[in-house]
Structure 1
């Protein structure tokens, strides 16, 4: 009986120790906006603090594809700007909660998207924010109204290497 009690105490303390420090994560979400004609992949990583469900400090990379045209965004949930690459053009756009939809709309227009649906833009920003927030923030199938959820991968571990987005047409 004493041995069983000792084992249970060790297991309980081990479980507490793992959540007492929070956990690292890396997540991936692939979504499609059928009315607007683009597909995108979000790769995010960060650390969720102990006792929290999500983080506000995640960062990542977003690959948006309008046909074969690739638009890459480097984003951080805690930054006020996002860096982008569109062909040979590089720059930055405002990326505050107030600016994200307008910035995404502008960049998708530059990438060649002609008819952008407002609901898809809004939900795309939610999808990006969700992946950066961690596994519990990532939008899954059944949690979207406008976007299609192609696939999601959620991991409570550090990313095995740099976050590298897939090429357009491969996801």
Structure 2
């Protein structure tokens, strides 16, 4: 493979959300010498408005490769391929103009993920989206160095890995 993963790249003071990727032969492949991946936290229940998706795609067309992966293994929206100078601009646009945040990676906050809960499941016993995204959960958690994970299911007797699960990692 011609990819080197990792490295010191990211958003100043944040500690996660960006996976550094570099080509080990930048002279042969200058277009992908830097091809960093940005993880974007999904909204609770993965409900999107068309306006939000349009803004996200426009941002990525301008600042990245335009390639996206909706909900990779982490549940995040995965934006594939950008360069180091674009990272701060992307972060500012996401957090200040789109009211969203980077997803989890590394040793910082892991991205909370909520099932559709009461909106689509007749067996849900509580509001999974509120549990997953309470107003006091996210602020101040992005700098944690020793995260832990816990799982809550909205359905009695459900398996922790079922689609009816809320995963919270701090």
User: TM-score by structure 2 length?
Assistant: 0.27
Bigger Rg over Cα = 1
User: TM-score by structure 1 length?
Assistant: 0.27
> Which is richer in strand?
1
